[in-house]
Amino acid sequence: MKKLLILFMAAGAMTASAQQKAAPFQKGDRVVFVGNSITDGGHYHSYIWLYYMTHFPEKRITCVNAGIGGDVAKQIYERFDDDVLSKKPTVLTLTWGMNDSGYFEWYRADGKDTMHARIANSYKYYGKIEEKLKQRSDIKKIFIGGSPYDYTAKFNDKNRFPNKTEALTEIVAFQEQAAKKNGWAFVDFYHPMMNINQTGQQKDSTFSLTPTDRIHPDNDGHMVMAYLFLKAQGLDNKPVAVININATTKQVKTATNCQINSVATTADGVSFNYLAQSLPYPLDTIPRGWGQLHKQADADKVVPFSKEFNQEILQVSGLKAGKYKLLMDGENVGTYDASEFSNGINLAENTRTPEYQQAIQIREMNEERWDIERRTRMYAWMNYDFLKEKGLLYADNNAAMDSVNAFAAGNIFVAGNRDNYTRSRYKSMRDVWQQEQDVLINKIYEINKPQLHKVAIVAAR
């Protein structure tokens, strides 16, 4: 493996152009996320889209899941035209390697030789994907060095595959060099997430961003991935809003990403009208998805997402000492000391504000959309990972259903997808699922526009 990587890197060094940064998505972009089960069943792309939905309400984009569980580079290549390019991406992200780097093969006596050949085959099929991408100058490419395999966590002894980390590290290096060679963007999840795992395990040996099977990130892991992606796009330190008002002079010192007017003072405090250009990011506090243990919000414990991406600062000086109620549209959303107002309050951490309540609705609609889209990916899995080899790709007929039923008893993956396939094999049902997603997306972009709010800070009695 090392010889293959060294040869590839040497060849790439002679032809490499400057590696591009991952540019922010633009209005109208269709972003297709291509990968394996970590993309297929994961949340990172949905969390990324939620940031764009809330922070850039006027910049409508579309994000599409094109992951399939279990895929290696060869399988991604074989479905690339029908299941990826058919989605008409203007931006395409590509990640692969977790399955390419093997599992139980590492226990075999010839494991290293077997995996050497297997990874070389993945490089070959990546080359075929690369040739397709080279022909599509209309598509912006972003390669992602995927999340790591966690061999070191001590929560159990399951799925501990020797040498898998070494192999996956080489694959990620290969991907980074491939992106650099072509002048395409590269976003690294792999090394930062590995560092987070190692740092956490110094305090708690059971800590892991992949706490169930060492392979699939939990919700907090996917939020870490979203954080790394957004940061690579240069979107950190762009506040929801920053407000700085002097209650004594009625002077608006700062109004970043918002409009402040009608400032009025009374003996009890100050009031003003507030119209932001963004909404706070509503971090989820419920574990989502089958078998998930952690919440999206848990990511804030290991990366500074709220500090760098979710600041809605209200700073008011000139208030007399004492406690004050924060009223928004007439509702009391919190009580703070004058010193807290003077130092600045992060409204994005207050779930009672009307703008946060607005953002929660967007999050819940996006979660519903994610859940519906998952059904379409389960249908894709059944076709490409099971029916294709039987000559029944997209047959959707009784023969395909008979084959699924016949193999379900002995194949847990087919069994797990059978119920979904009984419905999804009908085009009318898939059309309805797409229509449901469209309704949700349209509604999100209807209600995600920030509203004018009347803010009053009055002395607490």
User: Digits of tens for pLDDT over the chain (461 positions)?
Assistant: 444 443 334 334 333 345 589 999 999 999 999 999 999 999 999 999 999 999 999 999 999 999 999 999 999 999 999 999 999 999 999 999 999 999 999 999 998 999 999 999 999 999 999 999 999 999 999 999 999 999 999 998 888 999 999 999 999 999 999 999 999 999 999 999 999 999 999 999 999 999 999 999 999 999 999 999 999 999 999 999 999 999 999 999 999 999 999 999 988 899 999 999 999 999 999 998 888 899 999 999 999 999 999 999 999 999 999 999 999 999 999 999 999 999 999 999 999 999 999 999 999 999 999 999 999 999 999 999 999 999 999 999 999 999 999 999 999 999 999 999 999 999 999 999 999 999 999 999 999 999 999 999 999 97
CB of 72 closer than 8 Å to CB of 99: yes
Using alpha carbons, select from 171, 194, 168 the residue that is nearest to residue 123: 171
Under 8 Å between Cβ of 163 and 1: no
The C-alpha atoms of residue 411 and residue 413 are separated, in whole angstroms, by 6
Report the C-alpha gap between 34 and 76 in whole angstroms: 8
Longest dimension (CA), the chain: 82
**242 residue type, one letter:** V
Round to the nearest angstrom and report the end-to-end CA distance of the chain. Answer: 72
**Which pLDDT belongs to residue 8?**
37
For the domain made up of 2-232, the CATH class stated in words is: alpha beta
The residues pairing with 64 across neighbouring beta strands, listed in sequence order, are 32
C-alpha closest to that of 74 among 128, 37, 117: 128
Residue 181 CA, chain-centre distance (Å), reads 26
Q: What are the residue ranges of CATH 3.40.50.1110 in the chain?
A: 2-232
Give residue 461's pLDDT.
77
How much is the pTM?
0.94
Pick the CATH number of 241-358+449-459 from 1.10.1510, 3.40.50, 1.10.10, 2.60.40: 2.60.40
Q: Is the dihedral of CA 220, 223, 229, 233 positive or negative?
A: negative
Cβ-in-10-Å burial (0-12, 13-18, 19+) of 30 comes to: middle
Amino acid in position 292: Q
Token output for 51:
């940031």
Pairing status of strand 312-317 against strand 345-346: antiparallel
Q: What is the pLDDT of residue 147?
A: 98
